[in-house]
A and B are shown apart, each in its own frame.
Chain A
Amino acid sequence: MELLGIITCGGAALACALFVILSRNTVHSALWMVGNCLALGVLFLLLDSQFIAALQVIVYAGAIMMFIIYAIMMLNQRVSDEDSFRKSLLSGRFVVSFLFMVCLLGLGIGLSPMALKGTMGPHARVQYGEINLLANYIFVQGLAAFELVSVLLTAAVVGAVFLARRD
């Protein structure tokens, strides 16, 4: 059952990512990106991380994507001004990046056995994904990092306002 979900959602995520990259229209890219985010959210649910899934949908698919749509609107640019991307698919750049992709896949697949040492037992599964587990971690061990992230966000807001204002 889980495998079925993984394949469906994973396929959806991959397809969305491909369309993001391949579509000529920037707005379409952004919309496919929303789809990608939603598919990832479902995958997080399948991984028993309800909180992260919620965050993914709200923050990513909601807030950040809204940003991007707004930005595209402000740029007033329906179709990107680059030369036909598909034509350049056979260029050296494409070949290079394709090789990188292959390398990446090789790395990822090579990495997986190493990461899979600690397969959990069935009893441990009960607690995982509960929000208090995460909350305990955030507010005990990760407090400093958490606060720093808030500083980062504040700085980003200030910076964005400063950059985008009309002088």
Chain B
Amino acid sequence: MNDYQSVYLALSAILFALGAFGVICRKDAIVVFLCVEIMLGAVNLAFVTFSRANQSAEGLFMVMCIMAVAGAEAAIGLSIFVLLYRKTGSINIDKFNLLKW
């Protein structure tokens, strides 16, 4: 237990919770997006911690995949924001409730 895994994991959990809090509470789409990135980072940290604890490359591979997904998400998400802003003049999440249709 000298490897401080529990510290890493606790740190990861706190980061994730902070990210989730931001996702739920902020209205600015860009900031929400950033908070999602924080959550992903927290997950990455957890993966690396587990990977080292288990002496396995799987966790590292997963982190790579997550980064790729994050990149794709950034590309798509940001272009959607740009489009949304162009069409409606706002990216305030509370102004859009189209998902119920």
Contact = CB atoms under 8 A, between A and B. Distances in A.
Contact between chain A and chain B defined by CB under 8 Å? yes
Interface of A: 2-3, 6-7, 10, 13-14, 17-18, 20-21, 26, 29-30, 33, 36-37, 40, 43-44, 47-49, 51-52, 55-56, 59-60, 63-64, 67-68, 70-72, 74-75, 77, 80-83, 85, 88-89, 93-94, 96-98, 100-102, 104-105, 107-109, 111-113, 115-116, 118-120, 124, 127-129, 133-134, 136-138, 142, 145-146, 149-150, 152-153, 155-157, 159-161, 163-164
Nearest to A23: B31
Interface residues of B, number: 72
B22 A20 contact: yes
Given A104-B17, A120-B52, 6 more contacts: A3-B7, A20-B31, A43-B8, A97-B20, A120-B3, A163-B83
Contacts of B28: 26, 80-82
Given A85-B27, A100-B21, A105-B13, A156 B34 contact: no
Interface of B: 1, 3-22, 24-28, 30-31, 33-35, 37-38, 41, 44-45, 48-55, 57-58, 60-61, 63-65, 67-76, 78-83, 85, 90-92, 94
